[in-house]
Amino acid sequence: MLENAKITPKQLILLIVISRLVITITFFPALEGPPGNQDEWLSVLLSIPAHLLLSAPIYLLWKRFPNQSFIEYSQTILGKVGKLIGLLYVLYFFHALSVFLFQWSAFLTTAVMPETPVLFFLVFLLPFCAYAVLKGVEVISRLAEFLAPFVFMGLIIIFLLLTKDMDLKVFTPFMEKSFMSILVGAFILGSRTSEILVLAMLLPYLKTKKGKVKSVFIFSYSIMAFFWIICTITVLATLGLDLTRILQFAYLNAVRLVNVGDFIERIESIHLSIWILSGYLRISLYFYVIVMGLSQVVGLKSYKPLVLSALTILLPISLSLQSNIAELNEFLSYKIAPWFNLFFIFFIPSILLSIAVIRKQGEN
């Protein structure tokens, strides 16, 4: 490990949950893939065991190498080839963060401040993220602990304020399509969760008994699913299926409908504040994982010298995505992105686990 930091299970759970939820409250991509109808909440519910299954190789690898991150035990298992695997994962995190920076800035320039150039947001935001990264994972974890009550209460309050406008008949008929389509939707949700790999990078910093680590996975995915269901009900019951399919920012449009007695209304600014801070947390988290992973690949004792150079690379990559929106949207569709993520989340870790078992490497 590159720093003597320790984070609690609660902090790690909140990091993972908030980082994943910010995508949901930005684009709400629920109806894009199977089942694509009112049974989406069933896919969300089944995503808990789907996430756990996809995380199994990561968890079993951690049990064998509890003091090493994913990139470190890749090198332990495969030697020099493991360095190439580690570099591949650094590039994967670079790509994931660049895509989110595009989504984050696209949301602001499309829905909030259309006259403001993307470059302004990125130049303003990234130095603050770099500062958080320099302070270490403990500071980022405490930020998650601070933000969590605002994020969770915000989602619940919006749900409660919109209950009078909800039409729950939209969720009928029940299981209109086959159960297989619902199950496929659950695995698509799980395969989009790159935070599974973030867990693999941060587990060595976890301050808890070894037997309790399993609960971190279970609670992370359960809390995630709970708030996904709240967001799904909020959007579908308020806007309906047809309108949700054509809106780019469905959750924001649902929030704009809040009106209680012509007194409580136009609360989207509160939602945007929560969303911006959650996005800042996700960006800082992935930025930290990138520089930590890169330093482990090249064998540096500290990741901090790499922060500035990574920042200068990240900015132009994020800006380059702005000119390829059509291609990026095609890549992010349920037909391509889940398979791309599965290769990194499940297939490569499964191969590493098999080799470690055959060679009897690590702890039993």
R_g over Cα of the chain = 20
Residue with structure tokens 């939707």?
Answer: 185
In one-letter notation, the amino acid at residue 104 is W
* Cα within 13 Å of Cα(36), Cβ side: 9
CATH 1.10.4160.10 fits domain 9-351: yes
The dihedral of CA 204, 305, 92, 333: what is its sign?
A: positive
* Cα within 13 Å of Cα(143), Cβ side: 24
pTM of the shown model: 0.93
Output the furthest CA–CA distance in the chain (Å, rounded): 68
254: helix, strand or coil: helix
Average pLDDT (205-219) is: 88
CA angle 36, 41, 47 (to 5 degrees): 95
Residue with structure tokens 């996904």?
Answer: 228
Residue 102 has what DSSP assignment?
H
Work out the pLDDT band at 17, boundaries 50, 70, 90. very high
Q: What would the pLDDT profile of 96-144 be if each residue is shown by its tens digit?
A: 998 888 888 878 887 778 787 878 888 888 899 999 999 999 999 999 9
CB of 244 closer than 8 Å to CB of 250: yes
CB of 5 closer than 8 Å to CB of 138: yes
Nearest-angstrom CA–CA distance, 262 and 151 = 25
Nearest-angstrom CA–CA distance, 359 and 116 = 56
Q: What would the pLDDT profile of 296-307 be if each residue is shown by its tens digit?
A: 999 888 899 999
